[in-house]
């Protein structure tokens, strides 16, 4: 018997609003059925006050309502979202603890609200409108997305369905433990992939390089005025793109860890495509070329299978808005 995959849910057409709530800013936009943002606005995030966050979101939605019609609102939130897509159970950088965010927003905006984890929303945007599309513009059935920002986020689409898990906390790929007894992670464990594949990992390794006195870090050390604490990820990437071998090595090291991480996730999920997003992905092949080599070297059963392609995310910083809006249509 041929196994039948569940059908993807039908989604409505027309405009929806997507809201991406981060630690410092709230970005909101009206998104059409093609995944294009046709109007956008921003607010600062009052991170310590849940009611004020809801008020700021409602204010942004009200502004968009003055010029565009829409039926639903989707919210991408940086935190654990419950399986019902109504509450934020926990957010590391915002004052949300078992916060019934959808209820609070619906009373303010007068429309149905769906809440989704921000990495899940970004993965959905790439699946529907970005790196998950083949050369004919059709979405693949199975996709994994990794977002390399400050930390390491993840999203999984399997059989055309976003995988949330029993409690809504699936795809926390950055907190899969990779190195027994490794570096302490902010989640409370040690050796998580996030400690080796992220913007924080890149900056930590760069600072360690400068403190070591290794001459390969000379250009970077001059760039930051001799202060290792002044190193940032964008500075490392910019110098690497300009040809500095020390910064290129730092990105290659993160890339090799990335390839190992992807090989582990491929062994479990067998995706057709792996999409790499987040700020660190702006390094392009300085990151992805060593990642592809490492993936090929560490892939289980590699003599009998091809590694999935690693693609750079196409929707960039707008992915949270686009994905949240599209998920609100389902």
pLDDT digits (tens, 9 = 90+) for 152-166: 999 999 999 999 999
CB atoms closer than 10 angstroms to residue 209:
22
Average pLDDT across the chain, whole number: 93
Give every CB contact of residue 4 below 8 A, 6+ residues apart in sequence.
none
What's domain 16-125+318-328's architecture?
A: 2-Layer Sandwich (3.30)
Q: Which pair of structure tokens corresponds to residue 210?
A: 């400068």
pLDDT at 1 over 50: no
Q: Are 216 and 246 in contact (CB under 8 A)?
A: yes
pLDDT band at 12 (very low <50, low <70, confident <90, very high): low
The arithmetic mean of pLDDT across residues 25-40, rounded, is 96
pLDDT band at 3 (very low <50, low <70, confident <90, very high): very low
pLDDT at 231 over 50: yes
Per residue in 118-145, is it b (16+ CB within 10 Å) or e — as a string? Answer: bbbbbbbbbbbbbbbbeeeeebbbbbbb
Domain 139-313 top-level CATH class? alpha beta
pLDDT band at 330 (very low <50, low <70, confident <90, very high): confident
Burial class (CB in 10 A: 0-12, 13-18, 19+), 180: exposed
pLDDT at 4 over 70: no
pLDDT at 187 over 90: no
pLDDT at 260 over 60: yes
pLDDT at 5 over 80: no
Q: Which pair of structure tokens corresponds to residue 167?
A: 């409690």
pLDDT for 314 equals 94
pLDDT at 105 over 70: yes
For 39-44, the CB contacts below 8 A with 24+ separation are 39/64, 39/67, 39/68, 40/321
pLDDT for 22 equals 87
Q: Do 16-125+318-328 and 139-313 share a fold?
A: yes
pLDDT for 24 equals 85
pLDDT at 103 over 90: yes
pLDDT band at 240 (very low <50, low <70, confident <90, very high): very high
pLDDT at 247 over 90: yes
> Residue 146 and residue 313: Cα distance in Å, rounded?
9
Strands (E), 234-324: 273-277, 310-312
pLDDT for 26 equals 95
pLDDT at 2 over 60: no
The arithmetic mean of pLDDT across residues 233-240, rounded, is 97
pLDDT digits (tens, 9 = 90+) for 193-216: 999 999 999 999 999 999 999 999
Q: Between these two residues, 79 and 287, which has the higher pLDDT value?
A: 287
> Residue 177 and residue 302: Cα distance in Å, rounded?
23
* Beta strands 25-31 and 73-77, pairing class: unpaired
Phi, psi of 110 (to 5 degrees): 70, 25
Radius of gyration of the chain (CA): 20
Residue with tokens 């991408």: 76
pLDDT for 10 equals 53
What does each C-alpha distance from 262 to 20, 64, 157, 289 come to in angstroms? 26, 39, 15, 13
Helix 199-212 × helix 245-269 angle, to 10°:
140
**Can you give the residue ranges of every domain in the chain?**
16-125+318-328, 139-313
Residue with tokens 């006195």: 213
């Amino acid at each position: 018997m041929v196994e039948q995959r569940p059908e993807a849910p039908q989604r409505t057409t027309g405009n929806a609003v997507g809201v991406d709530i981060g630690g410092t800013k709230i970005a909101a936009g009206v998104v059409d059925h093609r995944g294009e943002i046709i109007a956008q606005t921003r607010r600062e995030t009052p991170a310590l006050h849940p009611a004020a966050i809801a008020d700021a979101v409602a204010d942004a939605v009200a502004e968009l309502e003055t010029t565009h019609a829409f039926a639903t609102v989707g919210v991408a939130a940086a935190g654990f979202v419950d399986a019902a897509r109504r509450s934020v159970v926990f957010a590391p950088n915002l004052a949300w603890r078992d916060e019934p965010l959808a209820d609070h927003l619906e009373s303010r905006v007068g429309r149905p609200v769906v809440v989704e984890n921000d990495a899940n929303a970004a993965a959905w945007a790439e699946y529907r409108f970005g790196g998950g599309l083949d050369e004919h513009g059709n979405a693949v059935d199975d996709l994994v997305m990794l977002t390399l920002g400050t930390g390491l986020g993840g999203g999984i689409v399997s059989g055309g369905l976003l995988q949330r898990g029993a409690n809504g906390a699936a795809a926390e790929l950055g907190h899969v433990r990779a190195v027994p007894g490794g570096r302490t992670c902010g989640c409370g464990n040690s050796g998580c992939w996030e400690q080796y594949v992220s913007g924080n990992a890149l900056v930590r390794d760069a600072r360690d390089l400068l403190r070591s006195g290794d001459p390969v870090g000379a250009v970077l050390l001059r760039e930051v005025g001799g202060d290792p604490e002044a190193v940032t990820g964008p500075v490392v990437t910019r110098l690497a793109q300009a040809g500095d071998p020390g910064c290129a090595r730092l990105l290659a090291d993160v890339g090799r860890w990335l390839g190992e991480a992807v090989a582990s996730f491929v062994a479990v999920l067998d995706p057709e495509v792996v999409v790499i997003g987040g700020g660190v992905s702006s390094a392009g092949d300085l990151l992805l070329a060593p990642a592809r080599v490492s993936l090929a070297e560490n892939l289980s059963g590699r003599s009998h299978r091809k590694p999935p392609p690693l693609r750079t995310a196409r929707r960039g910083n707008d992915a949270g808005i686009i994905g949240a809006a599209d998920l609100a249509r389902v």
